[in-house]
Amino acid sequence: ADVLRESTEAVFAACDAAHGRWAKLLGVRAALHPKLRLQEFLIIYNITEEFIAATEKVGGRLGYNIRGILQQQSKQFVEYQHSVRMAKIKAVLDQETWIAVDVPEEFQAIVLSLSSTDFPVNGMEMPSNDNNSKLSEDGVSTSQESAHSTENNVENSNGTSTTSNENKVESTSQTENSVAGHVRPVAQTIVLGGVGYHMVNCGLILLKMLSEYVDISKCLPSLSFEVVQRVVEILKHFNTRTCQLVLGAGAMQVSGLKSITSKHLALASQIISFVHSLIPDIRRVLFLKIPEARKHLLMSELDRVTQDYKVHRDEIHTKLVQIMRERLLANLRKLPQIVESWNGPDDNDSQPSLFAKAVTKGSHLLASHPFSNTA
């Protein structure tokens, strides 16, 4: 009995010491871990989880300290990744020129995958146990360089010297559509629920970011609640800032637009309508791992965001109808003067009148970018 007791105490002490040493290793790397890519962080996360489970099974005691440290670093990872994306979307919105862009196939694939819970959104799979051994010094060094590069990009995005290449979605430019001599398939619209939406650069970037939040939630289910809160924050900012830039004409100051035209309004309406239609799929996927007791608060927040998008969309529609009404009244005021010259003896001009050209041009601008897919 004495030998058994002493052996048990020795095992307890060994497990406690191992937990302490592992916790110190995590502490030394605390500043690096939040800046890793998701797959790299998951390797460390999964190794630590397996180590804790194994030592708890052998020692018979729970590793509260090391579990607390791992959870803390996981939250720091989510917060850092969120801060990077918030900084980027702010810079992208301020540089947006509200010009329609083609939609690469990968973005349509993201939309399709969000309607299914069986496959990873970005094609990313959970790192297997065999991959855990690949975390070498070279991998850490590469991660550090990647993290520093990300930090520099974020810092630059806060200043006026930010280049467009840093904030353009990788697949939207013509030069980036060609990879290894193969042209990536692109489309003029992105289809969601059977409806096609014209997209601008910031809309594609937001879609990519949302898919990355979904990946984080799937891979770190214990932090799904925190991820949903960050998604709510970025959706709120995107909606508010878009309203300020287009309806509020802020884009004339920050991105150099000479005026806010019906095209800009129509494209903004398309983006807002797209995100509004996408939110239910985002909510369904993100809520899979959240306990029922905590869903009510998040659902109410997402419902408010959805309502804000609907109100914004309706305001844009009202503005576009106002523009059309103003054009109609302006043209009607000119008609009486023009009618007098119709069917006159000298009416031999085979070309349309200036009045007809102006009316058809205005109609074409509105019709070429339909502001409501249900109208």
CB 346 within 8 Å of CB 312: no
Q: Is 167 among the domain residues?
A: no
- Contact 34/80 with Cβ under 8 angstroms? yes
Based on the domain organization, do 281 and 225 belong to the same domain? Answer: yes
C-alpha distances (whole Å) from 320 to each of 92, 137, 326 are: 25, 58, 10
Asked whether residue 1 falls in the same domain as residue 107, the answer is no
The Cα–Cα gap between 202 and 208 comes to 10
Q: Give the SS3 label for residue 362.
A: helix
Question: Which pLDDT does position 293 carry in this prediction?
Answer: 83
pLDDT tens, 170-187? 444 443 444 445 566 788
73 and 192 in a single domain? The answer is no
Q: What is the mean pLDDT of residues 146-161?
A: 43
331 pLDDT tier (thresholds 50, 70, 90): confident
Contacts of 88 (CB under 8 A, 6+ apart): 153, 154, 157, 167, 205, 209
Residue 88 falls inside a structural domain: no
Q: What is the residue type of 176? A: E
Q: What is the pLDDT of residues 203-247, one digit of tens each?
A: 999 999 999 999 999 999 999 999 999 999 999 999 999 999 999
User: Alpha carbon of 249 to those of 86, 94, 235, 307, 312: distances in Å?
Assistant: 22, 12, 20, 22, 14
The model's confidence at residue 129, banded by pLDDT at 50, 70 and 90, is very low
| Separation between Cα atoms, residue 284 and residue 231, nearest integer Å | 13
Q: How many CA atoms lie within 13 A of 291 on its CB side?
A: 4
Is residue 104 situated within a structural domain?
A: yes
Query: pLDDT per residue over 350-375, tens digit each?
Result: 677 777 777 776 655 555 444 444 33
Helix (H, G, I), strand (E, B) or coil at 198: strand
Tell me the pairing of strands 182-183 and 189-192: unpaired
CATH number at residue 336: 1.10.357
Residue with tokens 């995100």: 275
> Do the domain assignments include residue 66?
yes
How far CA 4 is from CA of 11, 15, 61, in Å, comes to 11, 16, 17
Q: Within 10 Å of residue 168's Cβ, how many Cβ atoms?
A: 18
Helix (H, G, I), strand (E, B) or coil at 187: strand
Strands 189-192 and 103-104, by their bridges, are unpaired
Q: Extract the tokens encoding 43.
A: 């390797």
pLDDT tens-digit series, residues 92-128: 999 999 999 999 999 999 999 987 755 455 545 545 4
Tell me the β-bridge partners of 183. Answer: 178
Q: Which domain holds residue 109?
A: 96-117+186-341+351-374
Number of domain units in the chain: 2
Same domain? 110 vs 6: no
